[in-house]
Every structure is written in C-alpha cells, then in structure tokens.
Amino acid sequence: MLRSLISLLLLANLSTGTLLPPVGDVQFFDVTDLLSVNRIPVKSHNAIQPDIEAKAALIMDIDSGVVLFEKNGRDQLSIASLTKIMTAILILESNNLDEVVTVDENYGAMPEDEIGVKIWLKQNERITVGNLLIGLLVRSAGDAAFALAKHHSGSVEEFVNEMNKKAEILNLKNTHFMNPIGLDDDGHYSSVFDLAILTKYALRFPTFRSIIKIKKASITSTNGRISHSFKSTNRLLDSYLDIQGVKTGTTDAAGESVINLARSPDGHEIIAIVLNSPNRFQENKSIIDWVFRSYLW
C-alpha cells in the first residue's frame, strides 16, 4: 500500500514531462524502480585499507549506490579518455547500431595532440555506428569519437554542448566537457564520484556492457574493403579478478586513469575508479580486492 502511494506521488511529480519511447539502445526505467530496496554492503572486518597514491579514487556498489572506498571524491580533475563514456551514452540514446556513418574528414592527418589515439579511419569510409562504438570504447579512438560526434550532432562543437547538457541532467556537479575525446583542457574535468554516477548510468545499456569487456576486435567498413584491428588497453581484463571492463585513459594532465566494473564471486558488482595514478592497474586491483575482502552483501 505504501509503495503504491509513493509511486503515485512520484508519477504525479513527473506528469509535467513527456516520456519518450525508446530510441537506439537506451533502456528507460520505471520510476517505481527508485523505490526498490537493494542489499546494502556491510563491513565484515577491519582489513587494512590500501594506501594508494592516485590523486583520487572511489568504489561504488552498483545496486545500492553506496560508496565503499573514497579518496578526494569530489575533486575536479582531468579525466582523459574516460570522457568517452559520455560520448558513448549520447550515441546509444539516440542512434541505432546499424546506422551508417560517412567519414568526411582526413583524421589520419591530424596530430596526436588534436585527436589522441586513432584506428586510422579513411576519408569517405562508410562504417556503422556499432563498429565505431567498438573503436571508441575498446581502442579509445579519437577519430571514432569525432566521426560519431559529427554524425550525431552535425558538428563536434554541438555534440560537446549536448554532453554538457546531459551532465546537468545527471546532476554531475563537478563535470564539464570541452571535447568528446578527453584531450587536456582547463575546462575539461570531472570527479571520481561523478564518473561513478556516469558509469552506472552507462551500464544500463546492454551494448555498452558487451563492448567494454572486449579484449581485441577487428571492425570493417560496410563494403568490407577496409578493416581496423586493435586490442584493449585494460590489462585487468586478464587478471584473477572478475573484471567486466569499462575504460582506461592517459594524458599528461590526467596521468594514468582507469574505471573498472568488477564482479564478486556472489555476483555483486562494483565500480572502481582511480585518477592520476602512478600504477593505475595495481591500485585499481588493490582497492577492488580490499572491498571484496572487507564487505558482505
């Protein structure tokens, strides 16, 4: 009875908005989901908390949203290619995977400081949105990010505006974007707490979940004449932990950074983030291992 009453109140508060039908890969959720009660992790013993050197770090339990480990959680820091999580979200919300993108620029001629890593898309190449998302999230390709941004919004600049609008909708108070790649810029930053919320949102998309755990891939143009092969840079995909992947990132300002989705032997999932770490994989692994040894669900 109480659940029904609260549900009606929530629905009444949302009645001024318009619920749109699903587009692309987006998974809309029922507002009554907000009322569901999930198991909250409880600390089982006082294992020594790892002393990590990363500028910021955080672990969030996915089901409950409870923060289990935190260091400088709200500090605004450079985030490198972790940016591409937001890029992927905008595409998954409004584009179908089989849409065809025409690469209308010679991205291969652009220097690394303007585009980052490339999968070497060819000018006038036609390739699907789904394949570009694989290049974006597995190889962290800047040319894939630019091609998707222009396909989505007509220009990279307008796409960045959409990124910042989405950040406001998700209430990411310590986040601002200047590009869809993660290039260093004074106005381009986020916090580990905001990144946990962003990642949790992205994990609602089945396509996102399936791509982020790919270790190596080969994608082709629609005519099959051009191929791009690459490997993931996430070394924890081969660790003893059950890592479902997410995203790595490295720039001069951001240092070595990584976000991982880890699953416990009982199936509980956590989001683990380190920003600007001298050893991102080891520190990420350390805090994941500590959480799974210290908490019970």
pLDDT by 10-residue block (mean), the chain, 297 residues:
39 36 48 58 84 97 96 98 98 98 97 96 98 98 98 98 98 98 98 98 98 98 98 94 97 97 96 98 97 93
Q: In the prediction, which pLDDT does 25 show? A: 57
Residue 36 has a pLDDT of 52
Identify the active-site residue in 78, 81, 153, 221. 81
Residue 204's pLDDT is: 97
Which residue in the list 78, 140, 153, 286 is annotated as catalytic?
Answer: 140
Q: What is the pLDDT at residue 128?
A: 98
Given this model, what pLDDT does residue 13 score?
40
Catalytic choice (55, 84, 118, 285): 84
140 is catalytic: yes
Identify whether 227 is a catalytic site residue: no
3-state secondary structure labels for all residues of the chain: CHHHHHHHHHHHHCCCCCCCCCCCCCCCCCHHHHHCCCCCCEECCCCCCCCCCCCEEEEEECCCCCEEEEECCCCCECCHHHHHHHHHHHHHHHCCCCCEEECCCCHHHCCHHHHCCCCCCCCCCEEEHHHHHHHHHHHCCHHHHHHHHHHHHCCHHHHHHHHHHHHHHCCCCCCECCCCCCCCCCCCEECHHHHHHHHHHHCCCHHHHHHHCCCEEEEECCCCCCEEEEECCCHHHHCCCEECCCEEEEECCCEEEEEEEEECCCCCEEEEEEEEECCHHHHHHHHHHHHHHHEEC
CATH number given to 39-296: 3.40.710.10
Q: Domain residue spans in the chain?
A: 39-296
Q: Is 84 a catalytic residue?
A: yes
Q: How much is the pLDDT for 75?
A: 98
Q: Is 31 left (phi over 0), alpha (psi -120 to 50) or beta?
A: alpha
- Residue 77's Cβ-side half-sphere holds a number of Cα atoms within 13 Å equal to 32
User: What local confidence, expressed as pLDDT, does residue 37 receive?
Assistant: 55
